[in-house]
Amino acid sequence: MHRERNVKIVATLGPASSTPDRIRALVEAGADVFRLNFSHGSHDDHLVRIHAVRALEQETGRPIGLLADLQGPKLRIGAFRDGAVDLLPGQNFRLDIEGTPGDATGVTLPHAEVLASLKPDTDLLLDDGKIRLRVKDVHSGWAMTEVMVGGRLSDRKGVNLPDTVVPLSALTPKDRADLAFALAHGVDWVALSFVQRPDDLREARELIQGRAALLAKIEKPSAVDCLDEIVLLCDALMVARGDLGVEMPLQAVPGLQKRIVRTARRAGKPVVVATQMLESMIKAPVPTRAEVSDVATAVYDGADAIMLSAESASGDYPVESVRTMDQIARQVERDPLYRGIMDAEHNNPESTASDAITAAARQVAETINAAAIVTYTMSGSTALRAARERPRSPILCLTPLVDTARRLTLAWGVNTVVAPDAINFADMIAKATALARASGLAKPGDNLVVTAGVPFGSPGNTNVLRIARVDAV
């Protein structure tokens, strides 16, 4: 069960990774969580993948997380009369809502609320930032722009507005339908795309109603501006470097990645680093040296999880991509510099009994060289507190709730087993030692540090720390 690494791996499922055999191979290679990308594929496609993951989970007894990634309000231009045009720097280019085929003078932007939000001297980025337009004049239903960076522009390319907060909900009608489907089939996490403001998360929470945990994708400058408030309202974060790197200068993304990871770690919320981590492995069996360094950097920074997108969803080497990511993570976590960085970024516990017990558990585990820290939890909060401490010892989380076990697959260093709650201290120690041994985390003679809440079965009440010795069978 134990991966012998702390960082988790999220692998996106798609055409290259939908069969039960391929999904099994991805788990064996190191995948902990599977992402369902609702920007692609039908509900029937995703349902086949959900059933395959749950069947494998039942067979192996290992909790496997499912993350539903909603498409969000992706803005696109309309179509051109001839399929594409060539734009030259300095020329005027009109955007309107008329719906007529475009040409070199202009094209439809079928989002009235976007046009209404534009102001003179603001920029629009088209086709992943390859084309840059600057707004000159805004009128009712149309805007005139100047081409700042030209090039070939074809039908229905994406639009990014780095300087504008658009009055759009983060949940489109398609997202609402996808969300209802995902929740009905028991996904564990919902990723909200293109979060602009805290209210986007409040809206999503009202719809989810506790049936899944909520992950906020940070990919817009407006989200970075209110990052602290967003962190309070979500259960996890994702550094979505694709659109973030379009809407902000590319050279700013590495610093933002570190800032977002540190902010999430301080709050004790899982954080995922995503996009183009092993991009060359879509077509090649080995990554570039720069990609290896990129993955390693995320692990050194203490990210809870690292993610593969097209590499595992549609690439030629999905299993090799997961295995490569696993190997990089293991190597980094064996590096003496890794522990130094983890300890340098250590956060002070909050002034609560639960945080005090969890911080003490880390210190005691290091002092006695414990084989593992064992936490009992209902909601998962105790395990997340333990993960925030980034202990040297692995974390074994025991929970009676399979939903909690699945959600914790995204958390750094947490190994989760579904087990009945303890009924008294003797039962607590017996279960902890037996399951630590069965999970391969401890052997006879090892010490464990065990935390729990008394009375047993009461969520959010960690108030006991015990040292237990693993006896021979």
Q: Which of 42, 17, 46 is nearest to 29 (CA)?
A: 17
Which residues are marked as active site? 35, 76, 217, 275
Q: Which long-range contacts (CB under 8 A, 24 or more apart) does 442-446 make?
A: 442/371, 442/372, 442/470, 443/371, 443/470, 444/470, 444/471, 444/472, 444/473, 445/469, 445/470, 445/472, 446/370, 446/371, 446/372, 446/470
H-run or E-run covering 66? strand 65-69
How far apart, in whole angstroms, are the C-alpha atoms of residue 287 and residue 278? 6
CB 325 within 8 A of CB 295: yes
Task: Name the residue among 450, 448, 447 with its Cα closest to residue 465.
Answer: 450
Measured CA to CA, the distance from residue 341 to residue 261 in angstroms comes to 13
Amino acid at 148: M
| Cα separations in angstroms, 196 against 17, 141, 216 | 32, 23, 10
Q: How many C-beta atoms surround the C-beta of residue 114 within 10 A?
A: 21
Instruction: Count the helix, strand and coil residues of the chain and give each as a percent rounded to the nearest 5.
Output: 40, 25, 35
State which H helix or E strand residue 135 sits in: strand 131-139
Q: Where on the phi/psi map is residue 451: left (φ > 0), alpha (ψ -120 to 50), or beta?
A: beta
For CA atoms 159, 161, 166, 172, the dihedral sign is positive
CA distance 26 to 416: 19
Q: Classify burial at 184, counting beta carbons within 10 Å of its beta carbon; exposed 0-12, middle 13-18, buried 19 or more.
A: exposed
How is residue 412 written in tokens?
């750094």
DSSP string of 239-296, one letter each residue: EEHHHHHHHS-GGGHHHHHHHHHHHHHHHT--EEEESSTTGGGGT-SS--HHHHHHHH
Rg of the chain over Cα atoms, rounded to whole angstroms, equals 24
Which residues are paired to 416 by β-bridges?
A: 397
What residues are paired with 139 via a beta bridge?
142
- From the number of C-beta atoms within 10 Å of its C-beta (0-12, 13-18, 19+), residue 463 rates as middle
Angle at 264 (CA atoms; ends 263, 267), nearest 5 degrees:
90
Spatial CA neighbour of 39 closest among 158, 138, 129? 158
